[in-house]
Structure 1
Amino acid sequence: MCSANRVRPGAQRGSGMSAHYDVDAVRKEFPAAERMIYLDSGFQAPLARPVKAAIDLFLREGLETAGPKSVWLDRVEQTRAKVARFLGVSAHEIAFTKNTSESMNIAANALPLRAGDNVLMIHGDHPNNAYAFLNLQRKGVEVRFVPMTDVIDAASFHPHIDANTRAISMSHVTFHAGHRFDIESIGRFCAERKLHFVVDVMQAIGIVPIDAKAIGATFVGSGSHKGLLVPQGLGLLYWNSAHAGLEPAYLAAASLAEIPSDLIARPDRLAPAPSARRFELGNFNIPAIHALCAALDMIEQIGIENIRNHCFDLGDHLVAALDALDIRLVGPRDRKHRAPHIYVIALPAADWLGYFEENGVRVSPERDGIRVSFGMFNTFADVDRLVELIRRRGVKTSSRAA
């Protein structure tokens, strides 16, 4: 019901040359990429034609038939199954939420944390991951921050764990410098120590292959408006159903194992659904879920590994050009530790952001410079245009590589 246009894999010629798939064909599905040099998918992906078509279908059906709700809900479940396959889990372990922040808050409040317990997080990680757990300080839960370094793995947490540590929560990929952390080693470490593990994959999903079972997490949360190509307002939550005792902090009829047919609340029937539906509160963002169905079809046709590898190639091209200009890259350089698609250039955002905008290049300001974030539609020509603008203007000494 939401299949995208077919994209041919393999090396191509021209501005979309890639060893992995026909980037020119993909680029035609993103009109914004034809109007500007769009290097800001880490903020918000531009709308793709197949994604828009799925939303248009929903609007047309609502306009013409007042909404075939049973059909729409069937599509919700079809999309839930696609999400599950995409993450390597079962459909009953997937819940739809509003965004990453809601997913993280659901996870934080479902964990059996009590006064005196502590949770380990990474200093400088995304604030809305941290706030979900910092909010538990009012219940006496302590949050401890592990220093941020270019390499984070299980060993990074060893010095900070004690008998009261109950969980580790972190991002897979950082939004501000493109660190890609070794979450699988941390998941194994948590399993050995019987700790809960919560992972925010917002900046990874849709670009980096994710096997939620291999991560070993209790919860994995995400939004969908970056690598998953969907407009804002839809989140995902994977719940490892082996942790069946974890229950939601809030409840609605849709969350129950037995939804009363007469919709009269019964205090003696409050058992939550045996699936991740226990974490949902009823009505869905149906147009966004339809959009996600189309987006997953696009990603599947291209291949998530192909998207990752193409972005890595673009990143290598950018890093080599910055080295030639003697301009510093913020964050890790090694493919083993960096995200394929996020690169922060040590150029002061206050001085450079307006210049790039004036010349038709969309990027983001970040803590330590200008963030470049690639999508499946970007080309080497996009990188060359960015580099040429930097070369034309020149840089100050403070931006030079150490």
Structure 2
Amino acid sequence: MSGHYDVDAVRKEFPAAERMTYLDSGFQAPLARPVKAAIDLFLREGLETAGPKSVWLDRVEQTRAKVARFLGVSADEIAFTKNTSESMNIAANALRLRAGDNVLMVHGDHPNNAYAFLNLQRKGVEVRFVPMTDVVDAASFRPHIDTNTRAISMSHVTFHAGHRFDIESVGGLCAEKGLHFIVDVMQAIGVVPIDAKAIRASFIGSGSHKGLLVPQGLGLLYWDSAHAELEPAYLAAASLAEIPADLIARPDKLTPAPSARRFELGNFNLPAIHALGASLDLIAQIGVENIQNHCFDLGDHLIAALDALDIRLVGPRERKHRAPHIYVVALPAAEWLGYFEENGVRVSPERDGIRVSFGMFNTSADVDRLIELIRRRGVKTSSKVAEKAA
């Protein structure tokens, strides 16, 4: 049990968590029974009826509405994409940046966020990187803004060390300076509560295979509809305000849809969207704040155990600056990853060690199993917290 919800009951929905110590939701969440059931239903309908297309598309819109409620926005402000990287590229190319403009980003943030904007260098757009520290907020960016700055783009939570940046203060700075704000919430969504309007972003992008529990291949894009001037850099019939009934292209009717559908390119990843509808129902039953608080408790337990072993935590320690669910342990991945795998513990290698990432189904016993394995093997001096002076 947890002080926030019945974790034992939730854990039963994730068979993989019963078969191994799964501490890798920051890479990909294990499949949950309700999510699998939604995919199975889609497959059975396709197998038995060749697909009730109108029913499937109705479910797409039901899921779009669920995503909108989840983020506190209108359904007309939600588009479905392939993944976070596509969402970031859509945003970068919709901003109408020109030669001489610059965009501010955080050095060492997710590379695919950066590449979306670095690709605009061919148009003469400059990308400037501010230093990454444990605390990144409006004050981190303010000194770097000049008359040619047009946007700030950043992650909410970092994948490599679990920083949780103060995106609301950065959004406030962008509003003050008239800048576009683009946020990657891939590592936060489903675990950290997100109020899209409070962030004041022009675009928010994400995938769905981590905290949203859906297999890879589905992304989300929130577009602030107040920015009607932001249009896609591509066009398809599905993107138009008026889709011709005879499907004959007409050069005089190219107005994009008034909704975020302007950023969609035709056929959807239907099974994944149906799965997302089921996962959002599961998350709603538990409550994102409860999931966040449960993961914070697990993180506190992990940090205390690492301190007892004199092992350094990479990244911030304080709750207000750290993600609830992502922790990097200063153990060399080359030396430790195989050992954990051999003993049935799933984690990820990261820049500065081993990443432990929690999901809604994890328990303190999972943390204890990890710590017991570390204690059993012993830790070399080079890996200990004595390094922190370096």
Shared fold, TM over 0.5: yes
Question: Secondary structure of 1:222's match?
Answer: strand
* Alpha-carbon distance in structure 2 between the residues aligned to 1:377 and 1:398: 33
- What is the RMSD of the two structures over their aligned residues, measured on CA atoms? 0.8
Deviation of the 1:141 alpha carbon: 0.2
Question: Secondary structure of 1:149's match?
Answer: coil
* Alpha-carbon distance in structure 2 between the residues aligned to 1:113 and 1:253: 25
Deviation of the 1:346 alpha carbon: 0.2
* Alpha-carbon distance in structure 2 between the residues aligned to 1:27 and 1:84: 27
Q: Which runs of structure 2 are paired with 1:48-127 in the superposition (5 Å)?
A: 48-127=32-111
Instruction: Determine if contact 1:99/1:233 at 8 Å carries over to the other structure.
Output: yes
Instruction: Kindly provide the CA deviation profile for residues 326-381 of structure 1, in whole angstroms up to 9, marking residues without a partner as x.
Output: 10000000000000000000000000000000000000000000000000000000
Question: If the length of structure 2 is used for normalisation, what is the TM-score?
Answer: 0.98
Deviation of the 1:237 alpha carbon: 0.1
Instruction: Determine if contact 1:234/1:288 at 8 Å carries over to the other structure.
Output: yes
State the number of aligned residues. 386
Instruction: Determine if contact 1:103/1:236 at 8 Å carries over to the other structure.
Output: yes
Question: Secondary structure of 1:103's match?
Answer: helix
Deviation of the 1:401 alpha carbon: 8.3
* Alpha-carbon distance in structure 2 between the residues aligned to 1:33 and 1:239: 35
Instruction: Determine if contact 1:98/1:235 at 8 Å carries over to the other structure.
Output: yes
Instruction: Kindly provide the CA deviation profile for residues 266-290 of structure 1, in whole angstroms up to 9, marking residues without a partner as x.
Output: 0000000000000000100000000
Deviation of the 1:150 alpha carbon: 0.3
Deviation of the 1:136 alpha carbon: 0.2
Deviation of the 1:117 alpha carbon: 0.1
1:332 maps to 2:316: yes
* Alpha-carbon distance in structure 2 between the residues aligned to 1:393 and 1:61: 51
Instruction: Determine if contact 1:327/1:401 at 8 Å carries over to the other structure.
Output: no
* Alpha-carbon distance in structure 1 between the residues aligned to 2:287 and 2:145: 39
* Alpha-carbon distance in structure 2 between the residues aligned to 1:390 and 1:357: 13
Deviation of the 1:315 alpha carbon: 0.1
* Alpha-carbon distance in structure 2 between the residues aligned to 1:42 and 1:212: 21
Question: Secondary structure of 2:114's match?
Answer: helix
Question: Secondary structure of 1:72's match?
Answer: helix
Question: If the length of structure 1 is used for normalisation, what is the TM-score?
Answer: 0.95
Deviation of the 1:396 alpha carbon: 1.2
Deviation of the 1:66 alpha carbon: 0.3
Deviation of the 1:235 alpha carbon: 0.1
Deviation of the 1:398 alpha carbon: 1.8
Instruction: Determine if contact 1:24/1:377 at 8 Å carries over to the other structure.
Output: yes
Question: Secondary structure of 2:354's match?
Answer: strand
1:176 maps to 2:165: no
Instruction: Kindly provide the CA deviation profile for residues 294-347 of structure 1, in whole angstroms up to 9, marking residues without a partner as x.
Output: 000000000000000000000000000000111000000000000000000000
* Alpha-carbon distance in structure 1 between the residues aligned to 2:95 and 2:381: 49
Question: Secondary structure of 2:389's match?
Answer: coil
* Alpha-carbon distance in structure 1 between the residues aligned to 2:242 and 2:212: 33
* Alpha-carbon distance in structure 2 between the residues aligned to 1:166 and 1:302: 39
Instruction: Determine if contact 1:328/1:401 at 8 Å carries over to the other structure.
Output: no
* Alpha-carbon distance in structure 2 between the residues aligned to 1:51 and 1:18: 23
- Tell me which of 203, 210, 226 is aligned to 1:219: 203
Instruction: Kindly provide the CA deviation profile for residues 130-188 of structure 1, in whole angstroms up to 9, marking residues without a partner as x.
Output: 00000000000000000000000000001211110000000000000000000000000
Deviation of the 1:293 alpha carbon: 0.2
Instruction: Determine if contact 1:258/1:271 at 8 Å carries over to the other structure.
Output: yes
Question: Secondary structure of 1:157's match?
Answer: helix
- Tell me which of 244, 253, 260 is aligned to 2:237: 253
Q: In structure 2, what is the equivalent of residue 377 of structure 1? A: 361
Instruction: Determine if contact 1:154/1:186 at 8 Å carries over to the other structure.
Output: yes
Alpha carbons of structure 1 residues 256 and 123: separation in structure 2 relative to 1, 3 Å: same
- Tell me which of 265, 278, 302 is aligned to 1:294: 278
* Alpha-carbon distance in structure 2 between the residues aligned to 1:112 and 1:66: 42
Instruction: Determine if contact 1:329/1:401 at 8 Å carries over to the other structure.
Output: no
* Alpha-carbon distance in structure 2 between the residues aligned to 1:76 and 1:107: 22
Instruction: Determine if contact 1:119/1:144 at 8 Å carries over to the other structure.
Output: yes
* Alpha-carbon distance in structure 2 between the residues aligned to 1:219 and 1:293: 22
Structure 1 residue ranges without an equivalent (≥5)? 1-16
Q: Share of identical aligned residues, percent?
A: 90
Deviation of the 1:241 alpha carbon: 0.2
Instruction: Kindly provide the CA deviation profile for residues 225-260 of structure 1, in whole angstroms up to 9, marking residues without a partner as x.
Output: 000000000000000000001110000000000000
Deviation of the 1:397 alpha carbon: 1.3
* Alpha-carbon distance in structure 2 between the residues aligned to 1:75 and 1:371: 36
Instruction: Determine if contact 1:353/1:370 at 8 Å carries over to the other structure.
Output: yes
Structure 2 residue ranges without an equivalent (≥5)? none
Question: Secondary structure of 1:385's match?
Answer: helix
* Alpha-carbon distance in structure 1 between the residues aligned to 2:143 and 2:175: 17
Instruction: Kindly provide the CA deviation profile for residues 34-58 of structure 1, in whole angstroms up to 9, marking residues without a partner as x.
Output: 0000000000000000000000000
